[in-house]
Amino acid sequence: MKVAVVGGSGYVGGELLRLLLRHPDVEVVQVTSDSMADKPLGRAHPNLRKVTSLTFTPHAELRAADATFVATPHGESMGRMPQLLETNGFVVDLSADFRLKDPAEYAAYYPTAHAHPELLAESVYGLPELHRSEIRTARLIAVPGCVATATILALKPLVDHHLVDGRPVVVDAKSGSSASGQDAGPAGRHAERSGVMRAYAPTGHRHTAEVEQETGTPVALSCHAVEAVRGVLATVHAFAARPVEEKELWRTYRTAYGEEPFVRVVHEKDGLHREPEPKILAGTNYCDVGFAADRHVPRVVALAALDNLMKGAAGNAVQCYNVRRGLPEPTGLEFLGLHPI
Amino acid sequence: MKVAVVGGSGYVGGELLRLLLRHPDVEVVQVTSDSMADKPLGRAHPNLRKVTSLTFTPHAELRAADATFVATPHGESMGRMPQLLETNGFVVDLSADFRLKDPAEYAAYYPTAHAHPELLAESVYGLPELHRSEIRTARLIAVPGCVATATILALKPLVDHHLVDGRPVVVDAKSGSSASGQDAGPAGRHAERSGVMRAYAPTGHRHTAEVEQETGTPVALSCHAVEAVRGVLATVHAFAARPVEEKELWRTYRTAYGEEPFVRVVHEKDGLHREPEPKILAGTNYCDVGFAADRHVPRVVALAALDNLMKGAAGNAVQCYNVRRGLPEPTGLEFLGLHPI
Amino acid sequence: MKVAVVGGSGYVGGELLRLLLRHPDVEVVQVTSDSMADKPLGRAHPNLRKVTSLTFTPHAELRAADATFVATPHGESMGRMPQLLETNGFVVDLSADFRLKDPAEYAAYYPTAHAHPELLAESVYGLPELHRSEIRTARLIAVPGCVATATILALKPLVDHHLVDGRPVVVDAKSGSSASGQDAGPAGRHAERSGVMRAYAPTGHRHTAEVEQETGTPVALSCHAVEAVRGVLATVHAFAARPVEEKELWRTYRTAYGEEPFVRVVHEKDGLHREPEPKILAGTNYCDVGFAADRHVPRVVALAALDNLMKGAAGNAVQCYNVRRGLPEPTGLEFLGLHPI
Amino acid sequence: MKVAVVGGSGYVGGELLRLLLRHPDVEVVQVTSDSMADKPLGRAHPNLRKVTSLTFTPHAELRAADATFVATPHGESMGRMPQLLETNGFVVDLSADFRLKDPAEYAAYYPTAHAHPELLAESVYGLPELHRSEIRTARLIAVPGCVATATILALKPLVDHHLVDGRPVVVDAKSGSSASGQDAGPAGRHAERSGVMRAYAPTGHRHTAEVEQETGTPVALSCHAVEAVRGVLATVHAFAARPVEEKELWRTYRTAYGEEPFVRVVHEKDGLHREPEPKILAGTNYCDVGFAADRHVPRVVALAALDNLMKGAAGNAVQCYNVRRGLPEPTGLEFLGLHPI
């Protein structure tokens, strides 16, 4: 397939290119970026030096393709989507523009009204674990947000098994610095971010809407910046409808994810790595999910870890591509991750 | 005052010594440590090189003193406390041994039964913000745990003002590596800890008992290790009994802490540092407290940050000493903290 | 003394203010910054919140003072210096503008010709260990660069004792992220800087000129960025004129620094901290100096560590102020440093 | 090939297993470790969970194999090597035991005399860039040390082109925490290692002997620990025999490495990543080599970066295996590395 990448100079774009350049079903034919136009890909992504001779082209020079990945900032893909869908094959959009079904929700969390609300019904929320069959035939796939992905994968099985009592579920998420992209501003300076524990969104985080849409449960989400380059750890504190045993949680998660290639249930009795940790997932497409049953108060703690640039963005986008193309889902996503890192 | 430090070779002991060696009311006359016996203090604490010529003495050679700080591992001070109280002036104990009033609670969270439950009623929970007047005359002061201190200071005003609806309060705490002490084992190795986000106690953390004792409210506590050497950030997610406005939260916290020398209410509209962050508190005795009112669900998010070795241990111990001695509380605790760090 | 700070919103300015606001001989009467004009100091420096009610004033509104610290970017203080010297007492300049005696050297390393070369002869290189007596009466004190300070303090005693063979001395310096200031650009992003080992100036570093001026020896300097917020470690590799024993190096450094309040000779046989390390010096004005005699080739390795914002900038500036004012040099510089940090 | 791994529970063993488990020419049939005997591989290496059902076996139960990798601590493989060579195919030894040709050099740098000096002549120094043809037929391949590999690859071309003046070459190396292995002791604690710049071997580093053996040039090596988990950056300061231009350095390195699959010459005029950096090489088998010609003194600065667990150990071992087996050298080593990380 001849594949185009729109907006390829950011962190997500870089990961996408790393994956696509080695993907057996993909030929990357163009990569757009206005800020890096005419420069080699390796200038933005030093790990791609000597791997490809492609250069960035301006957005305006985008040509037709068999499939297109869009990795532009939120709000930028909305306007051009009808045109893209006409000329550029199926579209995998990594921005937030087409994730929410309800335009009112979009307007509540994002700064402008939606430019093409008529496309929201058609777009598919690109989480294969929930929407695999719709992705197979989708024209427009909206890749979920990184915090939303972790939260949904931890929470959904609890909801499906009626383990949550209906009150808002508290989600306390921690994320690394690449989650804010290259333009994090002064807050992204090393001296400000190194060793930080900072509540950057104690309330009002945008992924709230995605999580509630996909789980059907009210969510109280708080997001923190911690020192790490990659990774999200979502700690889901769910008040239980009734006493829950660990055994039931094991069963719940195994039922949900036993066949999933990229969700691993991690809950060990000893060793250093008993519950999910994003650190050892860097570069992989895994979301590790774990849990604990609280004996002190009626609470289930569910934990999900992922690499925000991989299962939280580019890796999941490639998984969606594989689903859409009928390929084995791990195609191009075989990297096992490093330890230590 | 001639002051002894029992167990002075650990991280908490080092901070205690840094403070006491420059404290105008204190003459440090002996510092015990079996593992470092006969070695100069600077061998364990390189920042104290050339500051003092004291050497460590074995525990068994402890002599009488006017006041004594105990910084031994949990469980080690219990047995010797009656003897200490007889010969060594008033005692400021930084271990967990005398924090809990109820021996049953102690047995529920710690591995053995309490050796001297008869002393629990007498010991004072050493949080000046809550127990200042009792500390003034105490013979035995039990310095709170670091996560407990942060959580209590964030949560107590909400409870006092009847803003919490009675359901368990979810507390999601993040802490740096020095909180596990020098003997953290393999989990404390740099390669394992660097960049980590790890739920090391998703349920069952010991500080739960302290927080419930001091706030009178059930708590669902989960603790995470994140990359940082010093610091605790407690994120308190409290379901509100009724809709709460930010203005009321401002008033609540200002009422509670307006006169406190070491609790600052931090909640700003712009800038990089809008809510409490432990990073800029390293080396100080401050606990910064902040908050957010959630408009989406009836929730108050309260945030407290501190340096786990200072307001979470040694600094707070010195503040207790100052209270006990009738000195201005900031005596010896004037350091403002570094930025950047 | 009524003291003004020109350019107080950067990292160096913040440290300077932290020190001056608690300095017993100083009343800070004004702090200028165009970018932060009218905002409280605590907006730029969160550790100063609630410590002072001062706000920044625009540069143009600078008024007279008894003494003035200048912490503007390199090149900005040159032009206004004659005016400052006339109205604002003695001046302690933390920029590079008046460090070099030879205008040709200045032009070789900096982008423009010097605006006031006639002042270069009068300005005193503000390293008390080398120029204490001149500083006592100076009208214009030029505070050295951080890498230069570390290198000079490690190298000068070797030169003075004729231990260096005359060939260029190799200096390999490592520095933390605050050394590049707040405006480090994309290279200062957390994701780019975290865990980095980067030769940012393999040749041509500006501090070369300062070191050669002060030591009278040719220097081959290479500078690296490593992960740390504060700190410089200079590793000086000097080819020895003749075989050198450790004993002679001990004697050399003790002779040089035995009476110095802020230079400690650190060279231990065991323990974790045998040679100088910047980490444990954060916030202090110490420069720790160490050494090793190579038995394999005729080489002396000299090591110097300091906090680039303290002994490498603001702390040293305050030390110069103390010398100039006839105060004990440690005045306002008593902080011992944290361990661990 | 049926492959055994002796000593598979350390960091190097973990990386080796990660690579071998996905290597198309390899079937891992046994992995020994006494400390982890009978436990699944994933207990030591969490990134291998669910990838293999192998468990560790005790060293004593090692069985025959077609090829064997040895990743035990230095000194442990010497004694058993004759036996291994007899029963276990060709051996790739990642310890230091068979790197040095001269038993006297071995005794000078290591604590005991060599147990089997008669094997030293036969063993091949496993750096394909220097010894490719000997590796093809070797029975015993000794994988170089990580600092040695970086230094040799930076320095050898300068020596070969007679650019070095014969005086000792100063090498200033920086390395991450995994280079000291899992048993780094107290110096490896996160709180001690985080943000550190520490000269852990200012003189006397063992890799000196390897570098001198392979380059034929005297070397003055100093090694520093810096904050990073993986990576070595070797800064080689070589006094030049005559004035050298950048153009000549380009030519020198391109001649040396133009055809090498895992050595890239990196020296760019702009961008963030102008010279080699280990950070972006994590998980890859690349050694990036760069350089600068000093115009100030007759010096060439050569820089080499690599991942100490990959090109500095396990990755290079697999490259040697590929050479020995006549496979394309990148087999199983295709990972491009992550950015950011």
Q: What is the pLDDT of residues D240-282, one digit of tens each?
A: 988 999 999 999 999 999 999 999 999 999 889 999 999 999 9
Cross-chain residue pair D197–C278, CB shorter than 8 Å: yes
Tokens of C2: 């009524």
pLDDT at residue C203 is higher than 90: yes
Which residues in chain D are contacts of C191 at CB distance < 8 A? 340
3-state secondary structure of D6: strand
pLDDT of residue D182: 87
Residues C68-90: tens digit of each pLDDT: 999 999 999 999 999 999 999 99
Taking CB atoms within 8 Å and a gap of at least 24, the contacts of A48-57 are A48/A14, A48/A17, A48/A18, A48/A21, A48/D336, A49/D264, A49/D266, A50/D264, A51/A21, A51/D336, A52/A17, A52/A21, A52/A28, A54/A28, A54/A30, A56/A8, A56/A9, A56/A31, A56/A32, A57/A30, A57/A31, A57/A32, A57/A33
Q: A197-201 and A219-226 as β-strands: parallel, antiparallel, unpaired?
A: antiparallel
Instruction: Give, rounded to a whole angstrom, the gap between the first and last alpha carbons of chain D.
Output: 34
Can you tell me the distance from the alpha carbon of B323 to that of B137, in angstroms, rounded to the nearest whole number?
A: 9
* pTM (whole model) above 0.90: yes
- Count CB neighbours of B53 within 10 A: 8
Cross-chain residue pair A229–C191, CB shorter than 8 Å: yes
- Please give the share of chain A, as a percent, with pLDDT higher than 70: 100
Can you tell me the distance from the alpha carbon of D101 to that of D289, in angstroms, rounded to the nearest whole number?
A: 26
Which residues in chain D are contacts of B184 at CB distance < 8 A? 189-190
pLDDT at residue A182 is higher than 90: no
What would the mean pLDDT of C184-208 be, rounded to a whole number? 94
Tokens of D136: 């093809």
Tokens of A171: 């989600």
pLDDT at residue C183 is higher than 90: no
Split at pLDDT 50, 70, 90, the class of B45 is: very high
Which residues in chain A are contacts of C182 at CB distance < 8 A? 186, 189, 191
Q: Which residues pair with C32 in a beta bridge?
A: C6, C57
Beta-carbon contacts below 8 Å between A and C: 49
pLDDT of residue C330: 97
What would the mean pLDDT of C232-246 be, rounded to a whole number? 94
pLDDT at residue A24 is higher than 90: yes
Q: DSSP letter string over C181-219?
A: -TT-GGGGBHHHHTT-EEEEESS--THHHHHHHHH-S-E
B50 or B263: whose pLDDT is higher? B263
Split at pLDDT 50, 70, 90, the class of C184 is: confident
State which amino acid sits at residue C77: S
Residues B313-322: tens digit of each pLDDT: 999 999 999 9
Among 3.40.1190.20, 1.20.81.30, 3.30.360.10, 3.40.140.10, name the CATH number for the domain at C146-306. 3.30.360.10
Q: Is B270 exposed, middle or buried (0-12, 13-18, 19+ CB in 10 A)?
A: exposed
Can you tell me the distance from the alpha carbon of B118 to that of C271, in angstroms, rounded to the nearest whole number?
A: 42
Cross-chain residue pair D177–B190, CB shorter than 8 Å: yes
pLDDT at residue B123 is higher than 90: yes
pLDDT of residue D241: 83
User: Does the model's ipTM exceed the 0.90 cut?
Assistant: yes
pLDDT of residue B302: 98
pLDDT at residue A238 is higher than 90: yes
What would the mean pLDDT of B248-275 be, rounded to a whole number? 96
Q: For chain A, what are the domain ranges?
A: 2-143+313-325, 146-306
3-state secondary structure of B274: coil
Can you tell me the distance from the alpha carbon of B97 to that of B117, in angstroms, rounded to the nearest whole number?
A: 10
- Please give the share of chain B, as a percent, with pLDDT higher than 90: 94
Q: A219-226 and A124-125 as β-strands: parallel, antiparallel, unpaired?
A: unpaired
Cβ-count burial D255-273 (b if 16+ within 10 Å, e if not): ebbeebbbbbbbbeeeebb
Cross-chain residue pair A191–C188, CB shorter than 8 Å: yes
Across chain D, mean pLDDT equals: 96
Can you tell me the distance from the alpha carbon of C273 to that of C233, in angstroms, rounded to the nearest whole number?
A: 14
- Count CB neighbours of A133 within 10 A: 10
pLDDT at residue D183 is higher than 90: no
Split at pLDDT 50, 70, 90, the class of A41 is: very high
Check: CB of residue D236 under 8 Å from CB of residue D302: yes
Cross-chain residue pair D341–A11, CB shorter than 8 Å: no
Give which of C53, C54, C13, C59 is closest to C34, Cα–Cα.
C59
What would the mean pLDDT of A17-29 be, rounded to a whole number? 98
What would the mean pLDDT of A253-268 be, rounded to a whole number? 97
Q: DSSP letter string over B100-128?
A: -S-HHHHHHHSSS--S-GGGTTT-EE--H
Can you tell me the distance from the alpha carbon of A28 to that of A53, in angstroms, rounded to the nearest whole number?
A: 11
pLDDT of residue B222: 98
Please enumerate in sequence order all residues whose Cβ is within 8 A of that of C115, keeping only pairs 6 or more positions apart, or say none. Answer: C78, C79
Split at pLDDT 50, 70, 90, the class of C185 is: confident
Across chain C, mean pLDDT equals: 96
How far apart are the CA of D15 and the nearest CA of chain A, in angstroms?
Answer: 7
What would the mean pLDDT of B181-206 be, rounded to a whole number? 92
How far apart are the CA of C339 and the nearest CA of chain D, in angstroms?
Answer: 9
Tokens of A248: 């039931």
Give which of B291, B277, B289 is closest to B338, Cα–Cα.
B277
Check: CB of residue C100 under 8 Å from CB of residue C209: yes
pLDDT of residue A308: 98
How far apart are the CA of D328 and the nearest CA of chain C, in angstroms?
Answer: 31
Cβ-count burial C229-249 (b if 16+ within 10 Å, e if not): bbbbbbbbbbbbbeebeeebb
Give which of D280, D304, D278, D279 is closest to D291, Cα–Cα.
D304
- Count CB neighbours of C274 within 10 A: 18
Q: Does the fold of domain A146-306 match that of domain A2-143+313-325?
A: no
Cross-chain residue pair D195–C229, CB shorter than 8 Å: yes
For residue C222, give the nearest of D235, D295, D305 by CB distance: D235
Q: Is B109 exposed, middle or buried (0-12, 13-18, 19+ CB in 10 A)?
A: middle
Beta-carbon contacts below 8 Å between A and B: 170
Task: Give backbone dihedrals phi and psi of C174, rounded to 5 degrees, phi first.
Answer: -120, 135
Which residues in chain A are contacts of B233 at CB distance < 8 A? 197-199, 224
With vertex at residue B27, the alpha carbon angle to CA B25 and CA B33, rounded to the nearest 5 degrees, is 130
- Count CB neighbours of D162 within 10 A: 11
Which residues in chain A are contacts of B295 at CB distance < 8 A? 203-204
Split at pLDDT 50, 70, 90, the class of A183 is: confident
pLDDT of residue C10: 97
Please enumerate in sequence order all residues whose Cβ is within 8 A of that of C255, keeping only pairs 6 or more positions apart, or say none. Answer: C157
For residue C275, give the nearest of D195, D199, D275 by CB distance: D199
Rg (CA), chain D: 19
pLDDT at residue D178 is higher than 90: yes
Q: A90-93 and A67-70 as β-strands: parallel, antiparallel, unpaired?
A: parallel
Counting as contact any 3 or more CB pairs under 8 A, the partners of A are: B, C, D
Residues A91-150: tens digit of each pLDDT: 999 999 999 999 999 999 999 999 999 999 999 999 999 999 999 999 999 999 999 999
Residues A2-143+313-325, CATH architecture: 3-Layer(aba) Sandwich (3.40)
Element housing B132 (H / E): helix B128-135
How far apart are the CA of B273 and the nearest CA of chain A, in angstroms?
Answer: 8
pLDDT of residue B18: 98
Residue at token pair 């432990």:
B278
pLDDT of residue A336: 96
Name the residue of chain D whose CA is nearest to C173's CA. Answer: D172
Cross-chain residue pair B271–C46, CB shorter than 8 Å: yes
Q: A140-142 and A124-125 as β-strands: parallel, antiparallel, unpaired?
A: parallel
Which residues in chain C are contacts of A188 at CB distance < 8 A? 189-191
- Count CB neighbours of D38 within 10 A: 10
State which amino acid sits at residue A282: A
Cross-chain residue pair D196–C299, CB shorter than 8 Å: no
Can you tell me the distance from the alpha carbon of A205 to that of D249, in angstroms, rounded to the nearest whole number?
A: 53
Can you tell me the distance from the alpha carbon of B199 to that of B313, in angstroms, rounded to the nearest whole number?
A: 22
Can you tell me the distance from the alpha carbon of D41 to that of A39, in angstroms, rounded to the nearest whole number?
A: 44
pLDDT of residue C111: 93
pLDDT of residue B181: 87
pLDDT at residue C215 is higher than 90: yes
- Please give the share of chain D, as a percent, with pLDDT higher than 70: 100
Give which of C295, C244, C271 is closest to D203, Cα–Cα.
C295
pLDDT at residue B135 is higher than 90: yes
Residues B219-252: tens digit of each pLDDT: 999 999 999 999 999 999 999 988 999 999 999 9
Task: Give backbone dihedrals phi and psi of D77, rounded to 5 degrees, phi first.
Answer: -90, -25
Across chain A, mean pLDDT equals: 96
For residue A339, give the nearest of D47, D338, D339 by CB distance: D47
- Which DSSP state fits C46? G
Split at pLDDT 50, 70, 90, the class of C241 is: confident
How far apart are the CA of A274 and the nearest CA of chain C, in angstroms?
Answer: 26
pLDDT of residue C221: 98
Helix%, strand%, coil% for chain C, nearest 5? 30, 25, 45
Can you tell me the distance from the alpha carbon of C7 to that of C58, in angstroms, rounded to the nearest whole number?
A: 9
Cα distances (Å, whole numbers) of residue C9 to B280, C43, C46, C145: 16, 9, 11, 19
Name the residue of chain B whose CA is nearest to A229's CA. Answer: B195
Annotated catalytic sites of B, by residue?
A: 146
Alpha-helical (H) ranges within chain D are 11-20, 41-44, 81-87, 103-109, 128-136, 146-160, 190-193, 207-215, 246-257, 314-325
With vertex at residue D36, the alpha carbon angle to CA D34 and CA D38, rounded to the nearest 5 degrees, is 95
